[in-house]
Structure 1
Amino acid sequence: MPLAPRTTHDLPSLAEEYADSPPQDIRIGIALSGGGIRSAAFNLGALQALQQQGVLQSAEYLAAVSGGNYVASALTISAAHTDPDCENGKPPWGRGSPEERYLRQHTDYLAPGRAGKLWMAASVVYGFVLNYLPFVLCAMIIGRVAGWLLHLLGVRLADLRLNGLALPKSSLLTVLLIAASVCVGLAILLVAYRRWFKDGHPGNYGESHAERMASLLLTGAAAVGVCLLLPPLAEVYATSSTSLLSTFVDERPESFQTAGGRIVIAIVWLLVSCVLAVIALMLGRRFRALRLMLVLSSISSAGLLLVPLLSSLEYSTRHGLHTAGDAVGLVLAVVIVLAMAVKVHNRRYSMHLFYRERLNSAFALKRRRDGNRIVAEPIGYEEKLYFSELSPKGNRRMPKLVVCCAVNLTTDDVPVGRFAESFTFESHRSGGPLFKYHATERFEGRAGLAGTQLTLPSIMAVSGAALSPLMGRFTYPPLRFLMALTNVRLGVWIKNPRHRNWQSTASDDTERPGIGARLWNSIRDGWHEPGALYVLREALGGAKSTHRYIYLTDGGHWENLGLVELLRRRCTHVLCFDATCDQTGDGLDIGRAIALARSELSADVDLDPRPVMPDSDGLSQSMAVAGSVRYPMPDQEAKLVYAKAVLTAGSSWDLQAFKRRDRRFPNHSTSQQMFTDEQFEAYRTLGYEAGKKALELLNIPEPLLRPSTAEDLFERDGVGHLR
């Protein structure tokens, strides 16, 4: 009998994969790649070249990822907050504009000066403490309760050792072994039952009662195995710790058997685990040290969780519950965990908050008059720059901004090995093929808890969240657990539009008048916010499309150029600017984009990027190449120009000279997020030259570049926003 068809996920039709209908005339799209401040500088130069030729103003879409989106979002914000009478012949973010000059003075925006670096360090420690505290307290609670029960039963840790091939001396250990054996045996019987009696009606894989029950039984057996390992590990921890520390500290081993001594030992081992964690994270991007990173990350992760658990288990088993202070300490720990579950959630201590504050200070700019001068200054962080409300002032014509992010999933909602799906933000709608498109203002959470509002600087930070436990196809499991546990994350959890409670809004005090109602609403809303449970899901790779919240990170975790999103909108003329770090000249990002366009949209990209790839001398034949795209249904062809941050023999001499001084140019690491003015100008000039070369290849006749009036653009936008 044939297998039952899968009905869990409905596959979209080809038309649904596209986010816009075929155009009646020309539709220009501009794609800006990711790459941090390196990409921001390069793409700023490219946009300035397009701006001078009128192509930027004529474009329909501006799709941007990570560092490219720094500039794209900055352009959108400044156009909405700068009065036309302050332009003085220089449009927002134009060449030599006040915005460009301000950014040159703040390319160290992440940690400016001594105070900025100390503030960043304090923010890291603050986030780590709030992220780790629930886990260390839960480990301590479990260890204490388990130890008190063993002490009450008169069982020592030594009694729980295996007795070779003979039966264990402890009846408790015998019971645990029998329970594990029964679980494994029942799971095997369920497989036999399935094969003998249900082979003709298997149903969907993993969804039958037999499969679910077998999974639970084997999980229970694994849990028993962990329980059997903990007692001997606790003994080893106690004896080795006291012996080791007594050799370095002038104290007898017995002095470490007290409660204070145990705390000192635990602190020492936690500090060692933190040091190993830092080393592992530093080695994470060094592919030659992956094995060492694997070992160090495993040891540090185990240390951060096992040290409080083993210490509490060993001490409580020996002493039991012998003072009222022990009980009070346990109750206090439980209260703290419950309070944090309600009031301390991930969206308020994640490094995302620090990241978006710093981006706001450097890229969210407006102009003002200072005497006879026109200067740029950052818009106050307290002013909520909601994307859905931003539209250009005056008669400015701006392309529609498409902020490219990635939603991380570990289920079969996405193809095997991809672990991510596209998720984009636009001023009027946001979403993607899997989650559909919804009004952007519904994602912004204006009535939500403080610190959770999703403004354009927040979306900018999400699009550039390259460092997170979940990173799409770039997720590395050994580091995933460690990064989640230590709060090394720039991504953010947002409400899931596919969840059944998506329609619900924030609490309204009028629902239940009085202090009690407000307290209840606060507890309810706080409990639902992503906290330690979601951190654990990150650590274990358990991000599903059915959870209340979904996890968004850098758009480069799905596609790092923004090209596919322009093709999804059926652009007829596409300019793609690639500022990714490509020291070997392999062209991996454009290769991934071409493959994704084919698999996602059935669009065939005909492009040979080899002329822009550097040779052994680090020079390329050209900065840009032209190709074509063929869309299906209806059959339509588009022109594609791909420009890359490379040097050619014809590059200006200042770039050639800078290359001689700094061999890393034009491939500085993305992890280097603080540039000098010389570095910034080198990449901006490189982008400007790439923009001019790309325009030559695109070769759009000038009459087609004349933008429509603002009124015409307003009429063509079906949702009432200026394009």
Structure 2
Amino acid sequence: MISSLQSSLEHPGQAVHPGAGSPLQAAEKEALQARRLQVLGKASVHAEAELKLPRVGLALSGGGVRSATFALGLMRGLAQNRHGGPGGVTADQRRLDADGLLGRFDYLSTVSGGGYIGGMFGRLVSSFGIARAQSLMADASSPVLEWLRRNGRYLSTSGSRDWGTAVVTYLRAVLAIHAEFMVACMLVGLIVVAPHLLQHSTQLLDPKGWAFWQTPWWVLALAGWLLTAPGLISGYWAARDTANPGAKSAGPSVGDVLFLLGCALGTWGLVRWSIAAQLLDPCHDGLTATSAAVLALLSITVGQSLAQGWLFFSGDPHALAVARLRNALTRALRMVTLGACAVAGLGALDVLSWWLLEELQSQAGNDNYLWRGVGFGGLVALGLRTMVQPLQQMAAEAGGRAREWLPRLINVGSLAGLLALVLGWLVLLQWFVFAPDTFAPLINTPSWMRAALVALVWFTWVALTAGNAQMPNTSSLHSFYRARLTRAYLAVGNPRRGLDGDVPTGNADVTAVEDGDDMGLRHYQPELRGGPIHLVNTCLNQTRDDLSGLYNADRKGAAVTATWRGLEVGPSCFIPMKPEHDVGTLGRWVAVSGAAASPGAGAYTTRGLALLLYFLGVRLGHWIRSPGALVPLRWLSHLSWRFLPKPLMLASEASAVYFGGDRPWWYLSDGGHFENTGVYALVKRELDFVILSDASCDPRYEFGDVENLVRKARIDFGAEIDFYSREEASRLFTSDCEGGLTVLSPEDVTNNHSCRGVLLARIRYRERLVKGDDGQTVLKRPEGTLLVVKPNLHNALDVDVLAYAQKHEDFPHESTGDQSFDEAQWESYHRLGEDFGLAMHETWLAQLPGWRSPAHHGIRVAARLNDAKEAKDAPDKAQAAPWWRRTARATAIGATLGLGASGTLILSAWQTIEQVQRKETESRTEASKLFAEVSKGLQGMDANCPKMPEYLYVQTKTLLQVMRGSPLLSLLEREGVDLVAARIATDFAKPLATEAECPATALRMRSELQLVSSFQPASSALSYWDSGNSPGGQALAAEAVWQQLKNWSAKGPLTTTTAQVFREPAPVGMPKDVPVVVATAPASVSLEACRRPQGNTILYVQVYDEFSRAPATALRQTLQAQAGELVQVAPIENVTLSAQVRQQRRPAPWPQPTFVLHDPGSRACAKAMAGLLGLPWVGPGESADKVWVRDLPKSLNRRPGVIELWLPPILQQTSSNKPVAGRA
């Protein structure tokens, strides 16, 4: 089937498959002939025979610098195998391998790390020709080899200086990503807080009725679902089959009509009854059972009506109409349910972020939370550390099972991390919009204006940067990665570096950027100088279906092979190179081919891993503009990709949503994410002979990459790959176990240490019609040969290589994550590859099918790749282990150290927990002792004139004001405290019988204890449902802000200092020596406005720290002196201390002195008392706006005549002892 992508990219009448008959195949065939003539020279008498030799390809697998170094050694060994020996041959006797076996290869296919060396060799050939390139490769003392050896640490060639560059590059990438994420969270946050903001500004909803729902979002989610889902469900049930599926619909049955009428009447009756009973008041009650029933019945009525109408008026046969209706209703129900869940999710974010904001605002200075956090963090660390060794053992033993649960674990962890990041930014947004104490210029700014400021910042950022399509690439690590690869590997082909002689004559500084280190892909043609056609393989990520025909839910991507001729996409699509295509340089494609750490990872793509890599800034993938004609998009997608490419690209990376070739930009990553051997592109070309350097990380020799190749070759090209067993190969071919190569079965590689083992396989290409020798057309499957060189150790290796293997258990399959090879590591991999290359001489290769003549295999029984896994799981114990295998001693030492570290951690955690428990026990004992002493002291006391010692008064006040409700008291003791408080509040409130005989001190104690026992403050500066300022007050504040902006535009910027914007935070904990601060106030203020017809005005004063107690006490004395009997002033309470003792959340502090009114009629009294506030809260000459007057939230119980005065915390300046305003 020709896909829409193919048809949009192909030229009329052009075949895109690079097989027989295609323009690409014809162009490559012509180029190969020219290449071979370039190698042979015009004087060679063997030219005709050499030109007819089978096509041979070399594939270099992925595996980072490990694969590159091994492949370099292999290619150097091949380059040293010259026809005619070291002395060479005369010009008339030249063959393709006259300068080395590398001249025999027509194709070079590379993936990931193999591309480092493949690109390096291609640059050498392009600059100096195949003969000189092989000479430089073969020479052990050439500057090229020295350059490559010296730059084995290609990411940090200059040591710490390069690591510094890498760190700042990484930090820059992380900063860019999180800045963009912050902007995205601005939009999400504005959506999340929208209902809250509306309630905050209008006070439309009754807090008492809506407090149960915690957020309006949950009401909207449930109400929306009830309004739609029941109708969709009932409509599905109404679509019933009939006995005659082909008949037209006869309309609804009598039962359907009666059911519909019943639902309609029930809805109408329920609505009328609810209105009469005043049960339908959403602003007051939220969503009640009655309103939910009304919505559901209405939905069922409408759903039944629409379903019956659809079936009746549809012109389709009844069965077809029912099928279509059911499909549509099911899809609609899915969308409705997902929408409801999404809205509920917004509500969850709203509730969680608000809860966190309240906790952070209220717990400043509470060291209990610090200890709890340390204890919890210690337990988590202990759990993780204890689980490390079991998890490692499970992963090592489980194999396939580990690969199943590990992605799930990463998914869960990454989603949890995303939630934490989103909540963090939402808390910051909630604080900025709703908290009264933000930045000084915004304290009197209404919430809706703050939200508008955030929206303006978001819109400005999007308008200025959303069209920058290159930002996702420039903010990633791709440029750093490409630059290091280019200078470490590709630069050897730069003539300016002067590496083609015996001594370097150019710039040998690998950290310097030199012109010519890289070259454009469209100019990269090594075949013109006798080299192979270089195929650079990458992966086009695609996790969403489109119309291109390339989507595969398991592969999640398609192969993209790049050459100067164009791009091959998938198994059959080819896009010819055009001048307008943005193909970039060879370095770009080599880096993209090795972009293993990317949010898009082909078949390995998961949302959790994508999130993890995205937020860690580990992004090596690359976006390129689509090189072909675009597939038509819907108008919204078209406009989005036209004007908002940057946020769409970043969102795709974060969410692992890629559309492949169906979008104007493609996301490319490591070619190993699709196929890691590089043989895929060679099988597509049906080569006669392929040598694979398979240096992937495969310590168990499971041949996962080869297995993937076999599967994809069969599915995409109809090719079958069968491996020789050792017995079958020894029957057909000669082998030299001492100095040459031996063909092994896959299972023999696992425990081989006596031979240079390789794998040999037959490739049977797709069956086709060909003409036989007798002229008859017959079906035939062309054959090819695959020779797999996989790193494995044997006894004949150099002693330094085997010594390295003894010290490093994983060699030669150390982790791909290690991309910084030291000298010993680099030389060991290089020498291992060179050992294989030297043994691969022409005489041994000539006996294999496909090397000198078309391949015809005589294989009888093929070996299985699964045998290798079984051999690893059940090794032959009778076989003696070689001396260079690592012993178990280091493993035992590591386990012992791990157990010792775990024991130390357990002991430390136990001591911490024991200390916390001891402290809590002591506190409980002191609280119980206090309750017992107060209870005993109050027994038999005269309530009319309570003559008590001062210490008993202090204890009683502490018990009622601070300890009341504290979990330090037992349940029985808490009930006793409540009884004591109720008794004091009742008895001490009775009129005095013998007033003249009671001392003034006793009367004061009586009054203050009565006030303390009858009230506990519960208001806070931060309330979800109540803004603290009426809509009218917010309107006045907005007018003041607008006036300030007008003044600013007319007179210049406001004179706001940095100290005013960023005020010093309040101290954590209570100081040992509280400074004496004296509050100042005007001499006399009339408080006649506080007179009440019945009873007195009662004022409760709250502070947040002990710094404020002294000036608050002075203020209380002033109020008592000025008010006389008009106002009763209760003792001062430190709400922070009370909350700590009760283990409750402290009320969020008010940023300015605030009177909270229980009775709106007390507003004049509060304004009059505000005139008595002086230093340290109100300075001389400051306006009355310095003191706020707010109403008590409607969700709290009100007491007529009660006013709360909340005094913000203060700090003492160390230099002048002058108190200044502060905040918590």
Q: TM-score scaled to structure 2, two decimals?
A: 0.47
- How large is the Cα RMSD of the aligned pairs? 4.4
The alignment status of 1:360 with 2:506, answered yes or no, reads: no
Distance 1:216 1:530, change over 3 A: same
Which residue does 2:19 correspond to in 1? 20
Match of 2:152 among 107, 114, 130: 107
Match of 1:483 among 613, 617, 628: 613
The answer on whether the counterparts of 1:435 and 1:497 sit within 8 Å (CA) in structure 2 is no
Which residue does 1:630 correspond to in 2? 764
1:294-373 map, 5 Å: 294-313=411-430, 316-317=433-434, 321-322=446-447, 327-343=452-468, 345-365=471-491, 366-367=494-495, 368-369=497-498, 373=503
Which residue does 2:993 correspond to in 1? none
Which structure has more relative contact order (CA 8 Å, sep 6+)? It is 1
The alignment status of 1:494 with 2:624, answered yes or no, reads: yes
Q: Which moved more, 1:57-66 or 1:684-693?
A: 684-693
3-state DSSP class of the match of 2:529? coil
**What is the CA distance between 1:181 and its match in structure 2?**
2.5
3-state DSSP class of the match of 1:246? coil
Which residue does 2:570 correspond to in 1? 433
3-state DSSP class of the match of 2:788? strand
Which residue does 1:714 correspond to in 2? none
**What is the CA distance between 1:349 and its match in structure 2?**
1.2
**What is the CA distance between 1:561 and its match in structure 2?**
0.4
Distance 1:333 1:190, change over 3 A: same
1:469-523: CA deviation from partner (whole Å, max 9, x where unpaired): 1212222332222323443211111223455279xxxxxxxxxxxxxxxxxxxxx
1:213-292 map, 5 Å: 213-242=332-361, 246-247=365-366, 290=406
The answer on whether the counterparts of 2:432 and 2:450 sit within 8 Å (CA) in structure 1 is no
Q: Which amino acid aligns with 1:438?
A: I
Measure, in 2, the Cα distance between the counterparts of 1:81 and 1:193.
76
Which residue does 1:650 correspond to in 2? 796
Which residue does 1:91 correspond to in 2? 136
3-state DSSP class of the match of 1:494? strand
Q: Which amino acid aligns with 1:607?
A: F
**What is the CA distance between 1:234 and its match in structure 2?**
2.2
1:380-529 map, 5 Å: 380=513, 383=516, 385-392=519-526, 396-412=529-545, 413-433=550-570, 436-441=573-578, 445=582, 454-497=584-627, 500=630
Measure, in 1, the Cα distance between the counterparts of 2:199 and 2:808.
64
Measure, in 2, the Cα distance between the counterparts of 1:552 and 1:89.
32
Q: Which moved more, 1:168-177 or 1:623-632?
A: 168-177
1:4-35: CA deviation from partner (whole Å, max 9, x where unpaired): x99989999xx978523288751101111000
Match of 1:573 among 669, 689, 703: 689
**What is the CA distance between 1:136 and its match in structure 2?**
1.1
Match of 2:168 among 96, 119, 122: 122
Distance 1:312 1:78, change over 3 A: same
3-state DSSP class of the match of 1:404? strand
Give the number of equivalent residue pairs. 642
Measure, in 2, the Cα distance between the counterparts of 1:390 and 1:49.
25
1:607-686 map, 5 Å: 607-608=723-724, 611=745, 619=753, 622-634=756-768, 635-686=781-832
Q: Which amino acid aligns with 1:678?
A: A
**What is the CA distance between 1:173 and its match in structure 2?**
5.3
**What is the CA distance between 1:597 and its match in structure 2?**
0.9
The answer on whether the counterparts of 2:765 and 2:782 sit within 8 Å (CA) in structure 1 is yes
1:590-628: CA deviation from partner (whole Å, max 9, x where unpaired): 111111111111101111486355777674754312221
Which residue does 1:535 correspond to in 2? 650
Q: Which amino acid aligns with 1:439?
A: P
Q: Which amino acid aligns with 1:691?
A: G
Distance 1:231 1:488, change over 3 A: same
Which residue does 2:1023 correspond to in 1? none
**What is the CA distance between 1:248 and its match in structure 2?**
5.1
Measure, in 2, the Cα distance between the counterparts of 1:206 and 1:643.
59
Match of 2:845 among 688, 694, 698: 698
Which residue does 1:42 correspond to in 2? 70
Measure, in 1, the Cα distance between the counterparts of 2:676 and 2:123.
23
List runs of 5+ in structure 1 lacking aligned partners. 252-268, 446-452, 503-523, 707-723
Identity over aligned pairs, percent: 23
3-state DSSP class of the match of 1:626? strand
**What is the CA distance between 1:639 and its match in structure 2?**
1.6
Distance 1:242 1:195, change over 3 A: farther
The answer on whether the counterparts of 1:63 and 1:404 sit within 8 Å (CA) in structure 2 is yes
The answer on whether the counterparts of 2:59 and 2:108 sit within 8 Å (CA) in structure 1 is yes
1:516-573: CA deviation from partner (whole Å, max 9, x where unpaired): xxxxxxxx99965742222212332321131221211111111110112111011001
Q: Which amino acid aligns with 1:58?
A: R
Which residue does 1:509 correspond to in 2? none
The answer on whether the counterparts of 2:130 and 2:530 sit within 8 Å (CA) in structure 1 is no
Distance 1:456 1:531, change over 3 A: same
3-state DSSP class of the match of 1:62? strand
1:77-101: CA deviation from partner (whole Å, max 9, x where unpaired): 222234799x498235765432221
1:249-295: CA deviation from partner (whole Å, max 9, x where unpaired): 999xxxxxxxxxxxxxxxxx9xx9xxx9xxx9x99x99599376444
Which residue does 1:515 correspond to in 2? none
**What is the CA distance between 1:414 and its match in structure 2?**
3.0
The answer on whether the counterparts of 1:430 and 1:437 sit within 8 Å (CA) in structure 2 is yes
1:428-485: CA deviation from partner (whole Å, max 9, x where unpaired): 121223682123455852xxxxxxx621101001100111112122223322223234
The answer on whether the counterparts of 2:218 and 2:343 sit within 8 Å (CA) in structure 1 is no
The answer on whether the counterparts of 1:612 and 1:622 sit within 8 Å (CA) in structure 2 is no
Q: TM-score scaled to structure 1, two decimals?
A: 0.77
The answer on whether the counterparts of 2:411 and 2:606 sit within 8 Å (CA) in structure 1 is no
Q: Which amino acid aligns with 1:430?
A: L
Measure, in 2, the Cα distance between the counterparts of 1:34 and 1:427.
21
List runs of 5+ in structure 2 lacking aligned partners. 22-28, 30-51, 82-96, 242-310, 371-376, 397-401, 437-444, 633-638, 726-743, 769-780, 854-1224
1:312-342: CA deviation from partner (whole Å, max 9, x where unpaired): 2365345573596764454223212332212
Q: Which moved more, 1:235-244 or 1:471-480?
A: 235-244
The answer on whether the counterparts of 2:110 and 2:537 sit within 8 Å (CA) in structure 1 is yes
The answer on whether the counterparts of 2:724 and 2:759 sit within 8 Å (CA) in structure 1 is yes
Distance 1:425 1:647, change over 3 A: same
**What is the CA distance between 1:150 and its match in structure 2?**
3.3
Measure, in 1, the Cα distance between the counterparts of 2:217 and 2:478.
47
Measure, in 2, the Cα distance between the counterparts of 1:312 and 1:603.
58
1:288-308: CA deviation from partner (whole Å, max 9, x where unpaired): 993764443232211122211
Distance 1:553 1:616, change over 3 A: closer
**What is the CA distance between 1:345 and its match in structure 2?**
2.1
